[in-house]
Amino acid sequence: MAPILFPAPPNAEVEILRPRVRPPLDPVAALLEAVEHPFGTPPLSRLAEAGGPIVVIVPDRSRRFPAAELLPPLLGLLSRARCRPVDILIAHALHRPHPPRDIGLDPVRFGAERILSHGIAPARSLAFVGTVPLFGRLGIKPIRLNALAARARLVIALGTIAPHPMAGFSGGAKSLVPGVAGAEATALNHLLMFHPKARWGLVEGNPLREDLERAARLLPRVFCANVVFDGARRVSAVVAGDLVAAHRAGVSFARSVGDVGARKADLVFAAAEPPESASAFHALKLVVPASMVVKPGGAVVLAAECPEGSGEMTPLSRAMFDLVTRKNLPSGVRVFFYSPYRGRLKLPSFAGRVASLEEAGERGWPKDAPRARLAILEAADLLLPRHPAGSA
């Protein structure tokens, strides 16, 4: 990853935070090893012996996942087990659908029966799979999932494990809920974002994570395969098996990549590469790790390419940023958003757009601090900042 160039004042005390880089591994070999030595389930080759139909769920383009690299060996394994039919289902959740080729999926090359997008016919129909508790004991919530997945003999859920603003970490059950769930189940799950434990890097005791896992468990035959990226954006681990057991193993890897000691800073600069910064909607999530480093009364600068402009920044999502993301910020913190995108960007009320990084530095730098501290968060979407004992 190219170093971040930020105009720091000459009197700045600068700290650069980066996720760890792990030794290179062969992602295909790691995947085949993981699915044959899974957590909490029989090997995938044994599960595949019972035949199809099988649905393989893959993330959409808003998530970093090497679908074009990992799907062929996975489909080869299923082909050797003579599983038919095998359908590929792109998990769009509530995001805008896009063509399979946007994530490198060519129907001719992959040889699946179909490559379909959740939300596009004939995969748009939903099937009722059961109920889960609604907000603890207030009632029950019906869960409807994509009919292809609901009726499959086996669902293989592919995904990526990285810190997440509400679910603690992405991956695991999120491929199903919200990945291929109905809007009602997704919306009710997202209301749990207001809980104080629905936050970045927290899994155990996180009610939003627990809710989506209960919903995904309604499908009895789900096999999970998730990847973890390191600071060089290479696959550093692959875990597979049970939706929860494999996910927690992957979370441990992700923590080892993103856990960094950090001192509080007057000005925090945070950035990430696409797809994590493909739109303002996604890039604004970087406020969360930045908020864990900035001092009260300080400033945060978010830098993002935003080739897709505002992305999913609807009036509702903008309100959610104001209500939920803003609460993570210490008191008095200002947020500046820089992007070379030439069009208009929709931003929540707490973020003001600046024309350059120089302007962001000038406006964010404390004028009355002769020795202020600057923290630069590279690949901020992977970071889990913590404060060593005795740090200021």
pLDDT along the chain (392 residues), means of 10: 60 91 96 98 94 92 93 92 89 82 78 77 80 81 93 96 96 95 89 92 96 95 97 97 98 97 95 94 95 95 95 84 86 96 94 93 80 92 83 57
Based on the domain organization, do 270 and 172 belong to the same domain? Answer: no
pLDDT for 159 equals 97
Q: Which two tokens stand for residue 233?
A: 């954006």
Asked whether 68 and 105 are in contact (CB, 8 A), the reply is yes
pLDDT for 143 equals 94
pLDDT for 6 equals 66
Asked whether 250 and 158 are in contact (CB, 8 A), the reply is no
Domain end (from 196, 229, 257): 257
Residue 134 to residue 145: CA distance in whole angstroms: 17
pLDDT for 1 equals 39
Does residue 245 form part of some domain? yes
Does residue 391 form part of some domain? no
Does residue 143 form part of some domain? yes
Based on the domain organization, do 373 and 243 belong to the same domain? Answer: no
Domain end (from 239, 257, 275): 257
Based on the domain organization, do 159 and 183 belong to the same domain? Answer: yes
Phi first, then psi, for residue 171 (nearest 5°) are 90, -175
**Tokens 């920044």 sit on residue:** 313
Residue 9 to residue 372: CA distance in whole angstroms: 9
Give the CA-trace dihedral at 370, 371, 376, 377, to 10 degrees. Answer: -110
Based on the domain organization, do 91 and 187 belong to the same domain? Answer: yes
State which residues form the domain around 278. Answer: 13-18+262-386
pLDDT for 81 equals 85
pLDDT for 272 equals 95
pLDDT for 54 equals 95
Please provide the distance, in angstroms rounded to a whole number, between the alpha carbons at the two ends of the chain: 29
Residue 251 to residue 274: CA distance in whole angstroms: 22
Based on the domain organization, do 241 and 337 belong to the same domain? Answer: no
pLDDT for 370 equals 65
- The whole model's pTM is what? 0.93
Residue 31 to residue 284: CA distance in whole angstroms: 32
Does residue 149 form part of some domain? yes
Give the CA-trace dihedral at 253, 254, 256, 257, to 10 degrees. Answer: 120
* Nearest in space to 55 (alpha carbons), one of 5, 118, 101: 118
Q: What's the total number of domains in the chain?
A: 2
Domain end (from 257, 291, 319): 257
Based on the domain organization, do 210 and 337 belong to the same domain? Answer: no
Asked whether 329 and 297 are in contact (CB, 8 A), the reply is no
Beta bridge partners of 163: 169
Based on the domain organization, do 124 and 171 belong to the same domain? Answer: yes
pLDDT for 27 equals 97
**Tokens 């390191």 sit on residue:** 230
Does residue 190 form part of some domain? yes
pLDDT for 2 equals 46
Does residue 80 form part of some domain? yes
Does residue 5 form part of some domain? no
Based on the domain organization, do 296 and 229 belong to the same domain? Answer: no
Beta bridge partners of 56: 88, 156
